[in-house]
Amino acid sequence: MTLLWACIIWVFASAACAMFPMRYQYVPAVILLIAAPVLILLIGIQVSAWIAIAAIVAFIAMFRNPLRYLWAKIRGQNPQLPPEFSE
């Protein structure tokens, strides 16, 4: 039951984060980006591997741009941030 509430809170937090202006989304989005794989792992352990795979697909679809940016940084490239992030 605790996992269910944690997932519901994560969904509402991500919806609230999406309503922020782009320059204020960075810190909450990073926290959600780190918390999501932990929740997905717990879903896989407690519920089912198929549900966890579906959650991973949804996670990648939702965070595709930040994940592309991180992947480019890991490979040593210098990706450009959108102008909304530069102040």
- Model pLDDT for residues 53-71, shown as the tens digit of each residue: 999 999 888 888 888 888 8
28 Cβ neighbours under 8 A, 6+ residues apart: 13, 16, 17, 20
pLDDT at residue number 85: 65
Domain segments of the chain: what residues?
A: 2-77
10 Cβ neighbours under 8 A, 6+ residues apart: 32, 35, 36, 39
Four-residue CA torsion sign, 78, 79, 83, 87? negative
pLDDT along the chain (87 residues), means of 10: 92 92 86 92 94 91 83 86 66
The reported pTM is 0.73
